[in-house]
Structure 1
Amino acid sequence: MHQFPVLLSLIAVSVLLMVTPVIGYRPWPHLKPNSSDLTLGSSKKFEGSSEFVQMRYHMGPVLTANITVHIVWYGRWQKSQKKIIREFINSISAVDAKRPSVAGWWKTVQLYTDQTGANISHTVHLGEEKNDRFYSHGKKLTRLSIQSVIKSAVTASTKPLPINPRSGLFLLLTSDDVYVQDFCGQVCGFHYFTFPSIVGYTLPYAWVGNSAKLCPGVCAYPFAVPKYMTGFKPLKSPNGDVGVDGMISVIGHEIAELATNPLVNAWYAGQDPVAPVEIADLCEGIYGTGGGGSYTGQLLNDKDGATFNMNGIRRRYLVQWVWNHILNYCSGPNALDQ
């Protein structure tokens, strides 16, 4: 359990203002890789063991205290959409969910430790929420203006979001009519930490966008398919909302990486801390045994034909796997060899 270093905060202001946040999700190989991808070969689909992947700990803090996820709902959201996402976050710690479960997926994230040997917390729960339904910073956001949205949420005159740098995460979710810098072309979501010069604190945060109108074939695959994949039919989403069901996997991706690399100086592979390859990056597009490339791997179907790979408290979800640094391959609760 660490207080985030003041020194790092100062460095963040003076050096990292020109650095882009960690690109936490690019769904398919046709998108431009970051620089450290090249050290891992031409593909990042490592479901099987690979000697090319060296996931290393760089001595930074990880989230070993109970994790609280505070949500900023930016734009207009339906109640049903909020409910799907809330239940997913609450499912991360729901140990009584039917197997394979979201909680079982989180057990792989829990394998990661800090320098004292303390594991990532097993407890992840929903914190406070803030609605920004009037688009206070417009419908086109840059990477830095995202931090300004978070500042507005934590400094609001009424019911500001609480600040706990040790165990609190901020999740900014943008509605389907909001465009964020590099959305669809390079990213579906990313994570980083706020700059004290903008927000007043160093706070881990992630942004994830609803791609339903802008690029569902990119960010909501396999519930929508890109135009170039002729002959492929989209799969039926488990909760009846293509955009939000697509967001769920990206949210899981980002929360896993925020827990293991909140200040971009803890767990990652590759040699470039500016563009690290993290525990979810290594498993992009892998949702089941045999996954890789444009193949999701072995999945499950419910009686209505919807596709999923994990059970939550009351719902089902499709969530990508994460890298198991002990076994040295991507792992998930629905693996056929478990």
Structure 2
Amino acid sequence: MRHPGVLLLLVALVLATIPLLAAAWRPWPPTAARNATAPGASALGASKKFEGSSELVKLQYHMGPVLSGTITVHPIWYGAWPAAQKRTIRAFLRSLSPSPAEAARIPPPTVSAWWRTVRLYTDQTAANVSAAVALGREKSDARMSRGARLSRLDIQAVVRDAVAARTRPLPADSGAAYLVLTAPDVAVQDFCGQACGFHYFTFPSVVGYTLPYAWVGNSARRCPEVCAYPFAVPAYVPSRRPQAPPNGDVGVDGMVSVIAHELAELASNPLANAWYAGSDPSFPTEIADLCEGIYGTGGGGAYTGQLLTDARSGASYNVNGAGGRKFLVQWVWDPVLSYCSGPNALDHQ
């Protein structure tokens, strides 16, 4: 029998570690922007993680696995989710690995071409991140059984509730990805202030299994200027206008890019011991962190890079998906080219 004091110490260490591990991402570079004395890209300051920053990046492999089998993504809808918003997110997930017939109907640049960069990452068995990404079963908790304010550890409890449900539980699969999506009225620890999304893996002591999972929140009512940029812009940058979202929903279109970011990192670093830069595994810089804020050629700092514009709606996007959908997703680090890359890059056209 374990000593109670030892158990309390272990719990304290776990709780202290959660906010750091695979700690998340926010698309707007906040520090330099808030301290800017004049508007404009140069005044906002460029992040060191800019396009072509190979001399600054020490991305390393740490001998852990990548998700090399079929990656089944199980969405967990926490809070009230309108059907239209669910359809947009499902369409993006289906676009990562469409059927051959569907893929033939999607014009370039495509979501699946964006995922090809993620697929370049391998583990010590020489297995690549899987090309097959499937939309799995879904679970809804519209009543918010864990409340409207969640800690990071509560997110794991939401996953546990989904896999342990009495009716239609989600399967427990260590090669799957559990995607906890919180509605606009749900507050999550560090949401908006430090995080728009994060990924990690569940603790057997909490969930019963070690399962890779990610959380992404809908920022529409809380901080769209932080987590849904460039579809919303901070008030302290009066010279910049928000760009029109490709699916007409600032919160959900902003979420899509964060979902893409977190899935790319989850697939290449599912147990926080595979691909990341930096010497501290409790605070990794991962393959999407290296390209924060870059959506097109020339991107970096406060500039998204060159995007595409929908001729009918005027919306900004950079990839096409299933069912005629368009999305804006952040680029990821290409380990072969050693710079940030996306299918809409001008040198790809």
Q: Same fold (TM over 0.5)?
A: yes
- The reply to whether residue 316 of structure 1 matches residue 326 of structure 2 is yes
The amino acid of 2:63's aligned partner reads M
Number of residue equivalences? 317
Aligned equivalent of 1:72: 76
**1:327 is the counterpart of 2:325:** no
Amino acid at match of 2:185: D
CA contact (8 A) 2:29 2:293 kept: no
Q: Which AA in structure 2 matches 1:237?
A: P
How far apart are 1:45 and its partner, in Å? 2.5
Q: Is the 8 A contact 1:321 1:330 kept in 2?
A: yes
Structure 1 position 179 matched with structure 2 position 187: yes
Aligned partners of 1:271 and 1:240: how far apart in 2? 41
Cα deviations by residue, 1:59-82 (Å, 9 ceiling, x for unpaired): 001100010000100000000000
Match of 2:270 among 262, 281, 305: 262
Structure 1 outlier segments of 4+, above 3 Å = 12-17
Letter in 1 for 2:97: S
Query: Does residue 84 of the first structure (1) align with residue 88 of the second (2)?
Result: yes
> 2-side partners of 1:265 and 1:55: how far apart?
12
* Equivalent residue for 1:216, pick from 218, 224, 243: 224
**Which residue does the alignment assign to 1:3?**
none
Q: Which has the larger radius of gyration?
A: 2
What are the within-5 Å matches in structure 2 for residues 266-305 of structure 1? 266-303=274-311, 304-305=313-314
Give the corresponding residue for 1:101: 110
TM-score (norm 1): 0.91
Please provide the CA RMSD for this pair. Answer: 1.5
Shift of 1:325: 1.2
- 1:192 aligned residue: 200
Deviation at 1:30, TM superposition (A): 2.0
User: Does structure 1 residue 154 correspond to structure 2 residue 152?
Assistant: no
Quote how far apart the aligned CAs of 1:28 are: 2.6
Match runs of 1:236-255 below 5 Å: 236-255=244-263
CA distance in 2, matches of 1:204, 1:14: 22
* 31 and 130 in structure 1: CA distance in 2 versus 1, 3 angstrom threshold: farther
> 1:62: which partner in 2?
66
Residues in 1 aligned to 2:161 and 2:53: alpha-carbon distance in whole angstroms: 45
- 1:7 match: none
Q: Which moved more, 1:182-191 or 1:90-99?
A: 90-99
Amino acid aligned to 1:18: A
Q: Tell me, yes or no, if structure 1 residue 52 matches structure 2 residue 62.
A: no
Q: Which residue of 1 aligns with 2:238?
A: 230
Cα distance in structure 1, aligned partners of 2:167 and 2:302:
46
Percent identical across equivalent pairs?
63
* Structure 2: segments with no counterpart, 5+ residues: 1-9, 33-45
